[in-house]
């Protein structure tokens, strides 16, 4: 049987009592208080998204002509917008949209880019060169500009927004994974696997891939915040998530700006929600990067 790197890594761990998941979390929180705070923020967002129907006080898309632009009160915790819709309930449901689009596009882009990076880094030579030049093309445009053109050409829907944001992530993901594949490729156990006559595909996916998990997780958390921000910007411009889904970005759009002076809460709260969500994932991502991939520290 082939001895995989996973087996070797697991061996010494077995002799020492395994730490429970809670101990690991607790140690992380003690060492990285800021990262833990970020993790809590992300957890809050996740719970909000899952329990949006329970946490809401009003129907997020029901309009109420009698109370438009109401200030925050007991009935409407964060006030209402120009159509009388409850801002609090809309923000709670917006967490759902932001998370679905954020996680969906980040995972799609990272997996796609990761596979390309893995194969092109492992193959090397001309394949690698061509793949990298092709990805350079996608990286020649700012993330938002490419996402903008993509989402305009695909048409407005949640799936299309996810695709539009994921494509610009592909070259970034591929670069990170490729860099770590290049160093893993030269390891002795890869040579051993080759000597055993394993196929290239098997070596790439079974022996190289598991060792890129660290950088991959770091990459995903780092891109999540950016993806949420791009979704907000696209929706703000009217090219993102369509009605009737309440999206934080669209809540800030032109109509909100129009009433901003009369009702500042229209602008303040959705923006705070975006900022806190992205802040949380950035804090968490930073701490995770320090922990999993010290070489990238501060980069």
Partner 1 sequence: MKTYIAQRLGIAILTLFGMSVVIFVLLRLAPGDIVDVLFSAAGYVNPAEKQAILKELGMDKPYWQQYVEWITQIFRGDLGKSYRYDLPAWQIIRPLIPVTIELAILSTIVAVVLGVPTGMISAVRQDSTLDYALRVFSLAGLSMPSFWLGMVIILALVSWLGWIPPLTYVRPWENFWLHAVQFLLPALAVGYRSSALIMRITRSAMLEVLREDYIRTAWAKGQNETAVVWRHALKNAILPVVTVIGIEFAFLIGGLVVTETVFNLPGVARFLVEAILWRDYPIVQNLVMFIAIVVILSNLAVDLLYGVLDPRVRYAS
Residues that bind partner 1 (CB under 8 A): 34, 133-134, 136-138, 140-145, 148-150, 152-155, 225, 229, 232-233, 236-239, 249, 252, 257, 260-261, 264, 267-268, 271, 274-276, 278-279, 282-283, 286, 297-299
Cβ closest to partner 1, residue 124 vs residue 155: 155
- Token pair, residue 214, equals 């660290």
Query: CB-wise, 44 or 268, nearer to partner 1?
Result: 268
> C-alpha dihedral over 286, 292, 297, 299, to 10 degrees?
-70
Which of residues 244 and 298 has its CB atom nearest to partner 1 in the complex?
A: 298
Q: Look at residues 150, 114, 154, 164 and name the one whose alpha carbon lies nearest to residue 135.
A: 114
Pick the closer one to partner 1 by CB: 190 or 274: 274
> What angle in degrees, to the nearest 10, is found between the helix axes of 158-185 and 87-123?
40
Query: What are residue 80's DSSP bridge partners?
Result: 86
CB of 153 to partner 1, least distance (A): 4
Q: How far is CA 76 from CA 85, 92, 265, 274, in A?
A: 9, 13, 12, 20
Output the smallest distance, CB 134 to partner 1, in A: 7
Q: Which residues lie below 8 Å from residue 243, measured CB to CB, with a gap of 6+?
A: 250
Residue placing its CB nearer to partner 1 in the complex, 211 or 282 = 282
Cis ω before 244 (30° cut-off from 0): yes
Smallest gap from residue 14 Cβ to partner 1 (A): 36
- Quote the least distance from Cβ 149 to partner 1, whole Å: 5
* Shortest spacing between CB 22 and partner 1, in angstroms: 26
Q: What token pair was written down for 83?
A: 């159509």
Query: Which lies closer to partner 1 via its Cβ, residue 56 or residue 139?
Result: 139
Taking the complex as a whole, the smallest distance from the CB of residue 174 to partner 1 amounts, in Å, to: 16
Contact 81, 266 (CB under 8 A): yes
Between 47 and 130, CB nearer to partner 1: 130
Instruction: Name which of 88 and 236 has its Cβ closer to partner 1.
Output: 236
Shortest reach from residue 299's CB to partner 1, in Å: 6
Residues 6+ apart with CB under 8 A from 248: 91, 94, 97, 98, 232, 235, 270, 271, 273, 274
Helices (H), 4-81: 5-15, 21-31, 33-50, 52-55
CA distance 243 to 224: 23
CB of 276 to partner 1, least distance (A): 8
- Cβ atoms of 206 and 270 within 8 Å: the answer is no
Does residue 256 contact residue 237 with C-beta atoms inside 8 Å? no
């Amino acid at each position: 049987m082939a001895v995989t790197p996973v087996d070797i890594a697991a061996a010494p761990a077995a002799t020492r009592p395994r730490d429970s998941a809670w101990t690991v979390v607790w140690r992380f929180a003690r060492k990285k208080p800021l990262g833990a705070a970020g993790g809590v923020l992300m957890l809050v967002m996740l719970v909000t998204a899952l329990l949006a129907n329970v946490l809401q006080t009003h129907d997020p898309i029901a309009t109420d002509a009698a109370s438009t632009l109401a200030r925050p009160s007991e009935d409407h915790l964060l006030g209402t917008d120009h159509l009388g819709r409850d801002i609090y309930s809309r923000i709670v449901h917006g967490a759902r949209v932001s998370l679905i689009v954020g996680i969906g596009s980040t995972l799609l882009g990272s997996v796609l880019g990761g596979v390309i990076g893995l194969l092109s880094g492992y193959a090397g030579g001309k394949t690698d060169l061509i793949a990298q030049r092709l990805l350079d093309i996608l990286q020649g445009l700012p993330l938002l500009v490419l996402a903008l053109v993509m989402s305009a050409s695909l048409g407005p829907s949640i799936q299309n927004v996810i695709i539009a944001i994921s494509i610009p992530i592909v070259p970034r993901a591929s670069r990170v994974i490729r860099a770590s594949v290049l160093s893993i490729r030269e390891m002795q156990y890869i040579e051993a696997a080759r000597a055993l006559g394993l196929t290239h595909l098997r070596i790439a996916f079974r022996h190289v891939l598991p060792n890129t998990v660290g950088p991959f997780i770091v990459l995903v958390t780092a891109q999540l915040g950016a993806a949420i921000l791009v979704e907000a910007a696209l929706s703000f411009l009217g090219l993102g998530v369509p009605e009737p889904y309440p999206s934080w970005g669209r809540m800030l759009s032109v109509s909100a700006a129009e009433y901003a002076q009369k009702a500042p809460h229209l602008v303040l709260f959705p923006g705070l929600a975006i900022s806190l969500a992205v802040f949380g994932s950035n804090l968490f991502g930073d701490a995770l990067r320090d922990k999993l991939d010290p070489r990238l520290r501060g980069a």
